[in-house]
Amino acid sequence: MSFSAVQAALSGLRSCQEDVGTNMDMLTYVAMDLVESHETEHSSSLETLQAMILESAELEREINCFSNIVEHLNSEVSQLPPEALFSLSDRVKEQYEAKRASLSKAELHNHQKVIAFKEGVGSALQPENGEEAENQDEDIAVTQRFVNFTCPLTQVEMENPMKNKVCNHHYDEGAILAMIKARHKQHKKFRCPVVGCGNINVIQADLVPDLFLKRRIQKRNASQV
């Protein structure tokens, strides 16, 4: 058996995993469109979309789990006695089944992209109630919009805004992940860079992609062209 074939299959699986992620973003966009269109019949469609995104989350999780197991075994393979190689696929199956059995459906609601879906649909509903307040204090709304579009780390407009679930601040994905990684290498915590924020430990697990904000930025830019 050739192990380069395993590597190729693995990278195929990883790109498949990415595609599932992209599809989940698309589902969220469709749901936000639906909410924005103010269709009275949309609640059952939203439920269907939510069921679809949960199904995708499960698929993504299974691909991830399977790939991790194969990757791990693949890294150990050189230390195994030759006779063990014949049972490799059985070991993968065994470990995969065990891991799968330990995963719960409820945990899917903690999937980053499922959270992004719920937040996208939830905040897409807000302008309806917030319209009046926005007119009353247009200046504040404008300032807030400006602040929200700019990454506190890069000082430029965000391309992929991530929201911190703990303090509700936004950062651009690339910048925040690089900062967290750099600080962790020094064994230090990373404090939220927003002035006055008391969150002294920003961790990746608290960050959720904010597709609603991303779309607002994209729409604003499209209207300025």
For binding to Zn ion (CB under 5 A), which residues are involved?
167, 169, 192, 194, 197, 199
Amino acid of residue 222:
A
32 vs 176 by CB, closer to Zn ion: 176
Compute the Cα dihedral for 56, 62, 65, 71 and give only its sign. Answer: negative
200 vs 222 by CB, closer to Zn ion: 200
Please state the closest distance from residue 200 (CB atom) to Zn ion, in A.
10
Please state the closest distance from residue 205 (CB atom) to Zn ion, in A.
15
Please report where in the chains the tokens 């399977």 appear, as a residue: 66
* Paired tokens of 198: 């008391």
60 vs 119 by CB, closer to Zn ion: 119
Question: How far apart, in whole angstroms, are the C-alpha atoms of residue 184 and residue 203?
Answer: 10
Q: Is 120 exposed, middle or buried (0-12, 13-18, 19+ CB in 10 A)?
A: buried
DSSP state of 150: B
Please state the closest distance from residue 141 (CB atom) to Zn ion, in A.
21
Q: If we measure between CA atoms, which residue out of 187, 183, 160 comes closest to residue 171?
A: 160
Please state the closest distance from residue 126 (CB atom) to Zn ion, in A.
20
Please state the closest distance from residue 203 (CB atom) to Zn ion, in A.
12
Compute the Cα dihedral for 167, 49, 26, 64 and give only its sign. Answer: positive
Instruction: Tell me the sheet residues that pair with 209.
Output: 162
- 172 three-class SS: strand
43 vs 168 by CB, closer to Zn ion: 168
Please state the closest distance from residue 116 (CB atom) to Zn ion, in A.
18
65 vs 197 by CB, closer to Zn ion: 197
24 vs 194 by CB, closer to Zn ion: 194
Question: How far apart, in whole angstroms, are the C-alpha atoms of residue 134 and residue 131?
Answer: 5
* CA 168 to chain CA centroid, nearest Å: 16
